[in-house]
Amino acid sequence: MAEADPSRVVGSAEAGRPDDMTSVQASARRGPTTGSLSRRMILIAAVWIALLLSGGGYALDKVLASAVTRNFDDQLEYWLQSRLLTSEIGPDGEVLFTRELADQRFVEPNSGLYWQVSAPGLEPFRSRSLWDQRLRYGANRRYRETHYYESVQLGGEKLQIVERDARLPGSNVFWRFQVAQNRSGLDEQIAVLRRTLVRSFVLLGLGLTVLAALQTFYGLWPLRRVRAEIIRMREGRSSRVSSAMPVEVAPMVEELNALIEHNERQAEEARRHAGNLAHALKTPLTVIMNAATANADDLAETVVREARTMRRQVDHHLARARAVGRRGSAHSRADVWPSVESVERAVGRLYRDVRIDMDGPKGLQVHVERQDLDEMLGNLIENAAKYGGGSVFVTVRAEAGYVEILVEDDGAGIPEADRVRIFDRGVRLDTGKPGTGLGLAIVRDVAEIYGGTVALEESEDLGGLMVRLRLPAAVQTG
C-alpha cells in the first residue's frame, strides 16, 4: 500500500485552518443569543393569525350553517302552513284538502319529502310519498306553535320534521299536521360550506403568515444595514454609521455614534494624560541625570526629592485615569461646601499670610467624585493663594443645572491673550515660583471628564484673576 505524502497531508491540514479559525472567531464574537428575532415575530404573527381565523371561521360557520338550516326550515313551514290552510273536515269526519301541494316529490314514493295529518285514535292521512309508512305521532304533547326537530325514521332515514296541532272547523279533536324532509341535502350543503370555509381560511392564514414574514424581513432590514455599517467600522473603512435610517432605528444609531465618539474622546484623554505624565516626569529625570553626570555631592538628596515628585505625578495621573473610569456613574456626587472648607484649611496652613473668604449656599452637590473635586479646588485655590496679592475669594452658586465655583484673587491676573495658552500642559507664565505648569491643565481635563468647563476671566471685585469652574449639579434625593 502506497504511503501518503506528508507534505500533502500537512498542506491540506493547513489549508483547512483559516476557515476553522474564522468560524471559531465568529462564534466567539457572537456570544450567547436568545433565539431569532425574525422567527419569534413570525411565530407570534402565525399563532395570532391562527387564533383569529379559527375564531372567525367558527363564528362564520355557525352563522352560515344557521342561515342554511333556517332557510330549510322556512320551506318546511311554508308547506305546513299550505297544508293547514287547505284542509277541512268532510261529511264523514275525514280530512279533505281543497288543493294539493305543488311539489312533485309529495306524490313520489320514498322521495324524501312527506306530509301527514294525524289525530288520536284515527287513521292518519298521509302523502303518497310515504307509501305504506307513517310518521311517528306522540299524543302525549300538544304543539299550538310550530315545532321543529330531527328524527331518524322510515328505515333509518334522517329527517327534519316540522309539526303543529290545530282544530279544524267542524271537528272536536286536534289534528297534528307534520311535514318532513330528508336532511341529506341540507347536511351536504353545510359540509360543502364548511370545506370551502376551511380551505379559504387556511389559504388566508398561509397568505397572512407569508405577509408577516415578508414584513418582518423588510422591517428588520435596517438592523442588517446597521450590522454592515459596524463591520465597515471594524474594518477601518468608516468611523461612523452615516447611512439614513428609519425613525425607529435612528435613535439607536445616534446612541451608537455617541458611544463611538465617547470612546474616541476617552482614547484622546488617555493620550493626553500620557503626554502630561511624560512631561511631568521629564524635568525630574533631567535633574537626576544632570546631578548624576556631574557627580554632585547632594546626588542622594536630589534623587529622593525628584523621586517623590515623580511619585506624586504618577499618583496624580493614575487618579485622572480613575476619574475617566468613574465618569457617568449615577452614584458620583460630592458636597461642594465641605470640599471648599477642607481645601481652604489645607491651603491656609501653607500660605498663612493669605486671607481666604468663602460665600454661597452650603447644600449644593455636584456630579463629581469627592477626591476629584478636592483636587480641582486645591489647584485653583492654591494658585490663587500663590500668585495673588494676599486675598482670595471663593463663591459657590447654582446656575441652570450646574454649580459654579468662582475663585478670585487680587494678583496681577493673566492677560487675555494668554488665557487659552495657559491651559496647555507645562505652560507657566511665572517661572519664578515653584510648580510643574500642570495645575490648570489638570483642572480643565478633570472638569471636562465630568461634563464641566473652566474659564479664566478678570475679577471685578479684587482686580486679579477669576476662574469660573462649572460642574454638573447632582440630582437632589430624599
Residue reference for cell 474622546: 265
How confident is the model at residue 427, as a pLDDT?
A: 45
How confident is the model at residue 476, as a pLDDT?
A: 66
Q: Give residues with Cβ within 8 angstroms of 286, minimum separation 6.
A: none
CB atoms within 10 A of CB 67: 11
If one compares 281 and 70, the residue with the highest pLDDT of the two is 70
The alpha helices in 236-369, defined as continuous H runs, are: 250-293, 299-326, 336-350
Q: Is 363 helix (H, G, I), strand (E, B) or coil?
A: coil
Contact criterion met (CB below 8 Å) for 163 and 177: yes
Q: Give residues with Cβ within 8 angstroms of 354, minimum separation 6.
A: 347, 348, 385, 388, 390, 391, 392
Please state the pTM of the whole predicted model: 0.51
Confidence of residue 2 (pLDDT cuts 50, 70, 90): very low
CA 426/CA 471 separation, integer angstroms: 24
How confident is the model at residue 413, as a pLDDT?
A: 78
pLDDT higher than threshold 90 for residue 201 = yes
How confident is the model at residue 423, as a pLDDT?
A: 63
Strands (E) located in 98-174? 113-118, 125-126, 147-153, 157-166
Contact criterion met (CB below 8 Å) for 385 and 356: yes
What's the one-letter identity of residue 289?
A: M
Taking the domain 334-472, which CATH number applies? 3.30.565.10
Of 19-33, 37-51, 268-282, 361-375, minimum mean pLDDT range: 19-33
Contact criterion met (CB below 8 Å) for 193 and 61: yes
pLDDT higher than threshold 80 for residue 219 = yes
What's the one-letter identity of residue 254?
A: E
Contact criterion met (CB below 8 Å) for 116 and 135: yes
CA 471/CA 473 separation, integer angstroms: 6
CA 381/CA 253 separation, integer angstroms: 43
How confident is the model at residue 8, as a pLDDT?
A: 42
How confident is the model at residue 81, as a pLDDT?
A: 92
CA 455/CA 466 separation, integer angstroms: 8
How confident is the model at residue 177, as a pLDDT?
A: 92
pLDDT higher than threshold 80 for residue 139 = no
Q: Is 163 helix (H, G, I), strand (E, B) or coil?
A: strand
Highest mean pLDDT among 329-338, 425-434, 461-470: 461-470
What's the one-letter identity of residue 85?
A: L
Confidence of residue 142 (pLDDT cuts 50, 70, 90): confident
CA distances from 178 to 98, 99, 147, 168, 243 (A): 17, 17, 9, 15, 80
Confidence of residue 6 (pLDDT cuts 50, 70, 90): very low
Q: Please give the average per-residue pLDDT across 147-174, as a whole number.
A: 88
Q: Please give the average per-residue pLDDT across 36-61, as a whole number.
A: 91
Contact criterion met (CB below 8 Å) for 197 and 68: no
CA 285/CA 308 separation, integer angstroms: 12
How confident is the model at residue 331, as a pLDDT?
A: 61
CA 385/CA 119 separation, integer angstroms: 128
Confidence of residue 246 (pLDDT cuts 50, 70, 90): confident
Highest mean pLDDT among 232-236, 381-385, 431-435: 381-385
- How many CA atoms within 13 Å lie on the side-chain side of 321? 14
Helix (H) or strand (E) holding 405: strand 402-409
CA 273/CA 320 separation, integer angstroms: 7
Share of the chain above pLDDT 90, in %: 30
Q: Give residues with Cβ within 8 angstroms of 463, minimum separation 6.
A: 410, 413
Contact criterion met (CB below 8 Å) for 374 and 342: yes
pLDDT higher than threshold 70 for residue 31 = no
Q: Please give the average per-residue pLDDT across 25-40, as a whole number.
A: 69
How confident is the model at residue 323, as a pLDDT?
A: 62
If one compares 462 and 29, the residue with the highest pLDDT of the two is 462
The closest alpha carbon to 473, from 368, 377, 375, belongs to 368
Confidence of residue 256 (pLDDT cuts 50, 70, 90): confident
Residue reference for cell 318546511: 76
Can you read off the three cell numbers belonging to residue 3?
Answer: 504511503
Can you read off the three cell numbers belonging to residue 172?
Answer: 272536536
How confident is the model at residue 420, as a pLDDT?
A: 66
Q: Please give the average per-residue pLDDT across 264-289, as a whole number.
A: 79
How confident is the model at residue 231, as a pLDDT?
A: 86
pLDDT higher than threshold 50 for residue 349 = yes
**Is the backbone of residue 110 left (phi > 0), alpha (psi -120 to 50) or beta?**
left
Q: Please give the average per-residue pLDDT across 399-424, as a whole number.
A: 81
Confidence of residue 325 (pLDDT cuts 50, 70, 90): low
What's the one-letter identity of residue 394?
A: V
Confidence of residue 223 (pLDDT cuts 50, 70, 90): confident
Confidence of residue 210 (pLDDT cuts 50, 70, 90): very high
User: Please, what is the average pLDDT of the chain?
Assistant: 82
- How many CA atoms within 13 Å lie on the side-chain side of 329? 12
